[in-house]
Amino acid sequence: MTLRAVVIDDEAPARAKLRRYLASHDGMLWVGEASDGPSAVRLIRCERPDVVFLDITMPGMDGFAVLQALGDPLPAEIVFVTAHDEHAVRAFEVHAFDYLLKPVGPERFARAVERLLGKVKPALDIAGRVDGLLDGAPVPVRYLDRILLPSGDAAELVRVERIDRIAASRNYLEVFVDGEAHRLRGTLDSMQGRLNPSAFVRVNRSTIVRLDAIRQVQPWPDGEQRLLLVDGGRVTWTRRYLDNMPPGLSSPR
């Protein structure tokens, strides 16, 4: 399988870098590039590529305006390549396949290509697409205010204060909101780095809990604590993670 790709970026060095990366991967074929929004629309309509590596901030129109001009459904998988992580939520909304932050390293680019080529399971569902964005983004200066969660065949943008707990399940996370679990691909370590530690705490190897979702703390054998949550869930706060307990939360004796 060979995927035809175009590169859209207003900076020539950035385009050249992506061309080199594409040339180093079997199964990827560079078929053109553009340096601004209007020429990007013309190129994509002409070449009908399989993949578009798309910058966001460009002359003429930005990357989102390019997608709007192309219409729905989009003619290709979209991989955003940008220096700014604040556009990630909007990228969710247009169902971007991936979100690469500049400067893009060869390892991160290779992971995106592997997913595109199907060497690992492609992220063709919403949960997988969100996973790609989370893994690609650095720990932000600001913590998450909202998170996009799969909900049936659609997705719901949820404020993080509605989350009661997050539990790891192999390569997935179970995000509990109002008693309902939403399955999201990702790692607990990555999620923990994006949540405000004054509101969320890691209580064991596989669970993060929102502090305001704790209804009761009970003593448990071996010096551990048992948490009763507002949604009725019960979680053990293991000894290894008791050092995470904030000063304002007293431990029963």
- CB of 38 within 8 A of CB of 62? no
Q: Are strands 172-177 and 163-169 parallel, antiparallel or unpaired?
A: antiparallel
* Listed residue (212, 230, 224) closest to 251, CA to CA: 224
176's CB contacts (< 8 A; 6+ apart) are: 163, 164, 165, 166, 167, 182, 231, 233
Q: Which CATH architecture has domain 3-136?
A: 3-Layer(aba) Sandwich (3.40)
Paired residues of 157 in beta bridges: 148
- CB of 120 within 8 A of CB of 114? yes
Q: Which CATH class is domain 147-244?
A: mainly beta
Amino acid, single-letter form, for residue 198: S
Sign of the dihedral defined by the CA atoms of residues 155, 122, 52, 54, in that order: positive
* Listed residue (92, 74, 109, 240) closest to 158, CA to CA: 92
Q: Per residue of the chain (253 residues), what is the pLDDT tens digit? A: 689 999 999 999 999 999 999 999 999 999 999 999 999 999 999 999 999 999 998 887 888 889 888 887 777 899 999 887 767 767 766 778 888 888 899 999 999 998 888 843 443 444 445 555 555 554 444 677 888 777 766 667 788 999 999 999 877 889 999 888 988 877 888 788 888 888 999 999 999 999 999 999 888 888 899 999 998 999 999 988 887 776 656 554 4
Structure letter (DSSP) for residue 103: S
Structure letter (DSSP) for residue 145: S
Which string of b and e fits 33-43 if b means at least 16 CB within 10 Å?
Answer: bbbbbebbbeb
Domain coordinates of the chain in residue numbers?
3-136, 147-244
- Which spans in the chain are helix H? 12-23, 37-47, 63-70, 88-93, 106-117, 126-136, 188-192
* Listed residue (145, 140, 139, 142) closest to 161, CA to CA: 145
pTM for the whole structure: 0.50
How many beta carbons lie within 10 A of that of residue 230, not counting itself? 15
